[in-house]
Amino acid sequence: MHLTVTFNPAVDQTLRFEEPLAPDRVSRASSARFDAAGKGVNVAQFLTALGTDAVATGVLGGFTGAFIRERLAATGVSAAFVESDGTTRLNTTAVADGTEYKLNHDGSAVDPETVDAVVDVVRERTPDTVVVSGSLPPGVTTAAVDAIAAAGGWDTVVDMEGDALRALDERYSLCKPNRAELARATGADVSTVEGCARAATAFRETGFDRVLASLGGDGVVLSTGSTALHAGALDVDVAGTVGAGDALLSGALAAWADGADDRTALRTGVAVATLLVGQVGTAPPDLDGLDALRERVSVRELSN
């Protein structure tokens, strides 16, 4: 069983505008949607849609927290969140004239007792894999992430900002930075796919068994120590990019849980991410075309 931990969940509000945004003018959205989100919440939803046993935990509070609980229950996603006195954040993506504007809230402060309660939930569930992902709200530090990794014998996966990744002290089975996070965590030149592979391989040695780096239109790189693999991106009409990295990670985790090799896991991750970016919002996409897309993803080995 996979358990996802999201210390800073969000309701994702996606607004579409028919005209460019401009200052000092009221812009009215032609459509709006609201999704239960936050990186770990996204991963739990995608894993569930892919048929992989998953439970979402973390911290929720207020009317937005209630929305996330209700949405997960309605879509069959198991959840075991800890209640907080604060209000779960509302993040907004405005799409106008082919451009995305992302407006994110830092989140409400979380007290140490609530953090301890989340760690207790992880211990009680005894998962095979724990996925800790997303930003950390005020009051939560990387010590909480290390506490989760050290609390049991599970594999711990992290998907966090570059500075946070660099501050971790425990050993982790996998981290999933994007290109900017990889650059920030390593200070390396990541302008090319080969440079990303070298940076991922070097970053492995700081405390990660594997590094899965998402590179946007350049695909994804996986460094395992023995090999470095690159999977190319597929051409698709992009409707939105929010949650693409979570979809990539979920596809790879689901494939590995089914016993797939690394190449198949990469192909699956790219295929799930491709389906997601073809729609607006972060809800799980229709997976009917997954097998056909996976067959189209090319994977090659790079020099370590």
List all residues 6 or more positions away from 161 whose beta carbon is below 8 Å from its beta carbon. Answer: 135, 181, 184
Residue 53 appears among annotated catalytic residues: no
SS3 100: strand
Catalytic residue among 218, 246, 286, 288: 246
Structure tokens at 114: 């609530």
Radius of gyration of the chain (CA): 18
Q: Which residue do the tokens 């009215």 mark?
A: 28
Q: Which residue do the tokens 């190319």 mark?
A: 232
Distance CA 9, CA 136 (A): 10
Helices (H), the chain: 39-49, 62-74, 112-125, 142-150, 162-167, 179-186, 193-204, 244-257, 262-277, 290-296
Active-site residues, by number, are 246
